């Protein structure tokens, strides 16, 4: 089964999230059935990341977006956690600072894109500037609407410079979000994650849904497609992200660079 093909938003198509099943798990019935396959994909990822770092020709930008409690942190911890931190980093984008607001909206994004040989994971991203600003009317429609094309051009420029953009929307439904937010209140180990803002933002669920539908429809391109990852089941979410990442890195056909010295003349004494 090719999960990448199954979960890709085809460029140029309209998107209705109601048509996607957040409980989808392919042919798997439970976590136990996926453990071996997940471990194999993570093992591939670790090896491919090492090769990426050694070859030093490509970079990988992973974009994670989701509704509140959608599982971005868990995905990073479980899927990207085994990678060597020397060549993998995470950038979480919060509310823009005064300095950032004084520049164009992509200024704070561009300086964190990965260098050659590196994987960088964006926990939220430049897409917040067509999501939260739209939902809360922080800028006029004429401004945020023009950003879709600017984002597409920005991502095209990255890809043309060997920075490969892999975008995941972790899709949970409204009932699953309610369940997870309640767990943050009931579980002492999760209470630190409870934020009044998240509970207020839940009231905007329908507005965010429409905003995400436009993001997925207008910014899924041949060079930087969106993948809608059914994320109600955390174990399937992790499997899907790991498998797609491993597949995309393998597609780069990377090779170890040749030694810079004549190995036959080196001796260890």
Angle between helices 205-219 and 141-160 (to 10 degrees): 40
| Residue 269 belongs to a domain | no
CB neighbours of 139 closer than 8 A, spacing ≥ 6? 133
Q: Are 22 and 231 in contact (CB under 8 A)?
A: yes
265 vs 58: which has the higher pLDDT: 58
| Residue 258 belongs to a domain | no
| Residue 116 belongs to a domain | yes
Strand pairing class (59-66; 163-171): parallel
| Residue 8 belongs to a domain | yes
Q: Structural domain of residue 117, as residue ranges? A: 3-252
Tell me what the pLDDT averaged over the chain comes to: 95
| Residue 104 belongs to a domain | yes
| Residue 267 belongs to a domain | no
Q: What element of type H or E holds 66?
A: strand 59-66
Query: What CA–CA distance (Å, rounded) separates 168 from 146?
Result: 22
Q: Are 227 and 245 in contact (CB under 8 A)?
A: no
| Residue 31 belongs to a domain | yes
Q: How many domains does the chain have?
A: 1
pLDDT(162) > 80: yes
Q: What is the CATH number of the domain that holds 208?
A: 3.40.50.300
Binned at pLDDT 50, 70 and 90, residue 1 comes out as low
Q: 0.75 cut: is pTM over it?
A: yes
pLDDT tens sequence across 168-182: 999 999 999 999 999
| Residue 262 belongs to a domain | no
Q: What is the pLDDT of residue 234?
A: 98
């Amino acid at each position: 089964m090719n999960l990448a093909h199954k979960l890709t938003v085809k460029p140029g198509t309209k998107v209705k999230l109601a048509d996607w099943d957040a409980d989808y798990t392919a042919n798997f019935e439970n976590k136990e059935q996926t453990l071996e396959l997940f471990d194999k994909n993570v093992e591939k990822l670790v090896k491919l990341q090492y090769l990426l770092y050694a070859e030093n020709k490509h970079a990988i930008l992973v974009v994670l977006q989701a509704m509140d409690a959608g599982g971005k942190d868990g995905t990073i911890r479980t899927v990207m956690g085994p990678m060597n931190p020397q060549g993998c980093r995470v950038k979480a984008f919060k509310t823009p600072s005064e300095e950032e607001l004084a520049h164009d909206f992509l200024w704070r994004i561009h300086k964190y894109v990965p260098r050659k040989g590196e994987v960088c994971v964006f926990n939220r991203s430049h897409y917040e500037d067509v999501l939260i600003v739209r939902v809360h009317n922080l800028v006029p429609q004429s401004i945020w609407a023009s950003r879709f094309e600017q984002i597409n051009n920005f991502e095209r420029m990255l890809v043309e410079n060997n920075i490969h953009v892999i975008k995941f929307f972790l899709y949970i439904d409204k009932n699953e979000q309610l369940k997870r937010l309640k767990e943050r209140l009931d579980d002492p180990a999760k209470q630190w994650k409870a934020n009044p803002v998240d509970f207020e933002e839940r009231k905007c669920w329908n507005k965010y849904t429409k905003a995400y539908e436009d993001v997925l429809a207008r910014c899924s391109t041949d060079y930087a497609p969106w993948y809608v990852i059914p994320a109600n089941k955390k174990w399937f979410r992790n499997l899907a992200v790991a498998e797609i990442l491993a597949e995309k890195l393998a597609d780069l056909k990377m090779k170890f660079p040749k030694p810079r010295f004549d190995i036959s003349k080196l001796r260890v004494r």
